[in-house]
Chains A and B, each alone.
Chain A
Amino acid sequence: MALPLSYNFRNLWTRRLTTALTVSGMALVVFVFASILMLANGLQKTLVETGSYDNMVVLRKGSGSEVVSGVSREQASVVETQPEIALGSNGQRLLAKEIVVLINIPKKGTLKPSNVIVRGIEENSLLLRPQVRLVNGRLPRPGSLEVMVGSSLVKRFQSMGIDEALCCGMGDWRIVGIFDAGNTGFSSEIWGNVDQLMPAFRRPAYSSILFKLRDPSEFGELKDRLESDPRLTVEAKRETRYYAEQSEMMATFLRILGISITIIFSLGAIIGAMVTMYSTVANRTAEIGTLRALGFQRRAILAAFLVESLLLGFLGGLAGLFFASFMQLFTISTMNFQTFSELAFSFSTTFEIVYKALVFSLVMGFVGGVLPAIRASRMNIVDALRSS
């Protein structure tokens, strides 16, 4: 026969302070564990959603990132004439030759400068990226020194409002619009007209060429042809793959940091649970003796203590998740080492993270409680009853 669950609850309640301390230790660990998973998930989501599977990016061979890439006008026109490129509603090719440069802008508050991506776009750029929506103002007029800025930048950087001027390169750029690209990297960029930006920043070559494929399955064939064309020194990637690569270093860093911190913290919490459970067992020696004398089996005692420890873990898990869910309100903005520019991303929860965190907290409770529970179940009835 098993001991009733209310027995465990009452025990935890009697030692409120100890219970609270153990649970708060575990809650902190689960909190950190869940937040790091949420952060890594948020980063991944941001960069995966940035690309689109049908789109293909062409960069200079070996460059790896748009920031250091350069594709000359001659090469761009070769790429432009490939038959696999999809056609738009007006019969135009859905292709955009873009330029990407970094500029230094002071951050709000600290006024410390940080690198921001400026992207020179063509008309088709917006068609190729349906996530981008204008939320305020208007689009920059072609042929004018006008730009629009991503919504993440407005919150984080100095003087980013409509009608303010950005000075960089030759001349001042007037901000005429604010666009939102959801949870994507584009929200951390400044977009202007490529034909104005190229001479202003004295860049003779495009940084990348982006186009939509007529048929996504033709990717492999076109990639081979472009990369083996003797007139070209380029590499081609799917846009999704490109952005995944951009976040690789950052994601690995977060993962390693997260795993090592979680391991260290969980060791601390497991020790806390063990201390609690061992002392619970030691304090209740006479009680355990009585229970055994009443006819409860060793198995029941083992189960009772394990359940108590698992309860501790579960409570800690719930508390930790509760606080971690508030992290979704925050957005992290930091430098992506690979592109050397600012990227904003937020914490985001999935059911999988909730489930992982709860399992993790139960495992901590189990590991912390199993040895004390075994000790409790092994007690000799007579000795246990005799102890005061």
Chain B
Amino acid sequence: MLILKLLFRNAFRNKLRTGLTFLGICIAILSFGLLRTVIGAWYAGVDASSATRLITRNSISLVFPLPLSYKDRIRQTNGVKNVSYGTWFGGIYIDEKNFFPNLGVEPASFLGLYPVFILRPEEKESFLKDRKGFMAGRKLIEKYGWKLGDIVTLKGTFFPGNWDFVLRAVYRGKDENTDETQFLFHWDYLNETLKKGTGHPWVDQVGYYIIGVTRSELASEVSSAIDSTFKNSLAETLTETEKAFQQSFVAMSGAIITAIQLVSMVVIVIIMAVVANTMVMTTRERIGEYAVLKTLGFTGRHIAALVFGESLVITMIGCILGMALTFPAAEAFSRTVGSYFPIFTIEPSTLYLDVAAALVVALVAAIIPARRAIRIRIAEGLRRIG
């Protein structure tokens, strides 16, 4: 107890310096936490995906469609429980900045495959009935202030023209990592409108199939079975688990993620320099004191413990402040860029990493000063002034 008191007294001896160091650590931990959360947000889609769902798409790349006729042949494959399909619409709401995922899906089977989307029964029914209807996530509705029955117009990019949809249902996510910013409408509406036009290449074509398998162990078997069914056909398929599918998106922006990871390390190194600096100065000022302690019979180990302890006290207080601030900061951050990162939650692992980083900083920063303090010779230390 006495030791702790001594550590605190020592740490707060130079209030200004300690205060500045706190602030430094606090900022570092805050930014470290935020950057980790940004990386986590990137992987949110991967985390939310299920092991019993497969995605089948055209093997060339996502911009090529698959014929609707594949649906029945996929359903006949052993181990397939249910099949749904959809098309990435890529429409723009008023301005390109208002980004949200908008997809044409086959609603009944889609909702069957995604039980995490929770709808009120009466809204669900009216959505299923209305071919021009759409359902949207709670966050999306709140952002644009849409109400049930409102008509929303999207400007098509790949599917030309202005498309009107009527809001029929609002969904909630079952848990925190469900994306509540999606805009889902009837694929039939898309297809029938395309049919009326002048031969759009995507008539009776879908972007991808979503397949539910009976048991997750069957996933790899089912995917190779499906892919071999369509081998050497006009549109060869590539089937992978939903997780792998989501992961491939993350992998494409791998360089950016690596950069953010690197930056979150660099911020820790910077703060290490700041804390080390503080500790160097603290010990330099107290060389005389350490000499006195040694005269009294304390060994170098005791003094080293004092230096390390002080460094720990300073970093830990800064770390706790930083962690506390991470929450409101993440809240503010997700409000501004929420459309790109629909899921922005601080994971417990981030907080553990915060503490671990602070520990490492405290220990590394105290090494050189502690060595200096241990090595001081009593006579020299006592002689020294200032």
A residues bordering B, Cβ < 8 Å?
17-18, 21-22, 24-25, 28-29, 32, 60-65, 67-68, 70, 72, 101-104, 110, 112-115, 168-170, 201-205, 233, 253, 257, 261, 264-265, 267-269, 271-272, 274-276, 278-279, 282-283, 286, 332-335, 337, 340, 342, 388
Contact = CB atoms under 8 A, between A and B. Distances in A.
Nearest to A250: B256
B252 A271 contact: no
Nearest to B337: A256
Contact of A68 (B158, B238, B263, B271): B158
Interface string B33-60: 0000000000000000000000000011
Contacts of A67: 63
A286 B386 contact: yes
24 contacts: A18-B277, A18-B280, A21-B276, A21-B277, A21-B280, A22-B277, A25-B273, A28-B266, A63-B160, A72-B198, A102-B62, A110-B254, A168-B60, A170-B234, A201-B64, A203-B201, A267-B27, A268-B270, A269-B274, A275-B17, A275-B274, A276-B281, A286-B386, A340-B62
A288 B201 CA distance: 82
A286 B234 CA distance: 87
Given A62-B156, A201-B60, A271-B274, A110 B251 contact: yes
A73 B267 CA distance: 55
Interface stretch (B18-26, B176-184, B186-194, B342-350): B18-26
A64 B95 CA distance: 12
A264 B368 CA distance: 26
Interface in B237-255: 238, 248, 251-255
Interface in B254-268: 254-256, 260, 263, 266-267
Contacts of A114: 251-252
Contacts of B199: 204
Interface of B: 14, 16-17, 20-21, 23-24, 27-28, 30-31, 59-64, 90, 96, 155-158, 160, 198-199, 201, 234, 238, 248, 251-256, 260, 263, 266-267, 269-271, 273-274, 276-278, 280-281, 284-285, 368, 385-386
B335 to A, nearest CB: 14
Given A68-B157, A112-B251, A204-B199, A264 B274 contact: no
B248 A113 contact: yes
B63 A101 contact: yes
Task: Tell me if B's interface is mostly helix, strand, loop or mixed.
Answer: helix
B270 A29 contact: yes
Contacts of A169: 60
Contacts of B31: 261, 264
Contacts of A267: 23-24, 27
A202 B201 CA distance: 9
A272 B267 CA distance: 13
B253 A64 contact: no
Contacts of A264: 27, 30-31, 267
Contacts of B24: 267-268, 271-272, 275
B43 to A, nearest CB: 15
B351 to A, nearest CB: 19
B20 A61 contact: no
A283 B280 contact: no
Contacts of A22: 273, 277
Given A28-B269, A113-B248, A233-B160, A278 B16 contact: yes
A169 B234 CA distance: 9
Which of A22, A25, A286 has the most CB atoms of chain B within a 10 A radius of its CB? Answer: A25
A342 to B, nearest CB: 8
Contacts of A110: 251, 254
A62 B92 CA distance: 10
B349 to A, nearest CB: 21
Nearest to B162: A62
Given A101-B63, A112-B251, A203-B201, 14 more contacts: A18-B281, A32-B266, A63-B160, A68-B157, A115-B252, A202-B201, A264-B27, A268-B24, A271-B23, A271-B274, A274-B20, A275-B277, A279-B17, A332-B255
A275 B158 contact: no
A24 B368 CA distance: 16
A113 B273 CA distance: 40
A107 B160 CA distance: 33
A332 B260 CA distance: 13
Contacts of A62: 155-157, 160
A164 B66 CA distance: 28
A282 B285 CA distance: 10
Nearest to B91: A62
Nearest to B385: A388
A282 B263 CA distance: 34
Top 10 nearest A-B pairs (CB, nearest first) are A334-B255, A335-B252, A25-B273, A68-B158, A272-B274, A271-B24, A21-B277, A112-B251, A279-B281, A264-B31
Contacts of A18: 277, 280-281
A263 to B, nearest CB: 9
B61 A60 contact: no
Contacts of A275: 17, 20-21, 24, 274, 277-278, 281
A234 to B, nearest CB: 11
Contacts of B248: 112-113
Contact of A278 (B17, B96, B263): B17
Contacts of B60: 101, 103-104, 168-169, 201
Nearest to B38: A257
Nearest to B247: A112
Contact of A271 (B21, B62, B90, B160): B21
Contacts of A342: 252
B274 to A, nearest CB: 4
B89 to A, nearest CB: 11
Given A22-B277, A67-B63, A271-B274, A60 B160 contact: yes
A228 B90 CA distance: 25
Nearest to A17: B280
B262 to A, nearest CB: 9
Contacts of A61: 160
Given A17-B280, A204-B201, A334 B160 contact: no
Contacts of A332: 255
Contacts of A68: 63, 90, 157-158
A64 B96 contact: yes
A333 B280 contact: no
A138 to B, nearest CB: 26
A25 B251 contact: no
A17 B385 CA distance: 19
